[in-house]
Amino acid sequence: MGSEMCIRDSHITSYRGNLIMNENGKTVPEEIRGWNWGAFIYNIFWGIGNKTYLPLLCLIPVFNLVWIFVCGFKGNEWAWQKGDYQDVDTFKAVQATWNRAGLVQFIIAVILGVLYVFFFVTMLSTLINNSY
């Protein structure tokens, strides 16, 4: 029973440690984990470009509203597992380009959304004020 506890403890330690195994047996370094703006915004193109095809599930209507967030959270792990990266720095350099593009696109979308709402409210207000 004592050895069973050690096995469980080592499993918990390896689970919460720096490296975690996936189903392919390829380890994902802890510094790889995190949000990926490229996978979130450009999910389908990002998935094809990184040879990970789970983001193609974003083509399913309604389901994609949830799946884009899964892509953002798990994207780095998927790309590391499917890619042939020699080291973490190379991986981060490649994903930095995707992250920059995704973040810029997100900021542009938010600005355009705010401008659209402002324009719509202004037009609606003008129509209501002119009708009286």
CB within 8 A of 88, min separation 6: which ones?
29, 31, 32
Per-residue pLDDT of the chain (132 residues; tens, 9 = 90+): 444 333 333 333 344 444 454 546 678 889 999 999 999 999 999 999 999 999 999 999 999 999 999 999 999 999 999 988 888 999 999 999 999 999 999 999 999 999 999 999 999 999 888 876
Residues with Cβ within 8 Å of residue 40, at least 6 apart in sequence:
68, 69, 71, 72, 75, 102, 106
Question: How far, rounded to the nearest angstrom, does the alpha carbon of residue 17 sit from its chain's CA centroid?
Answer: 22
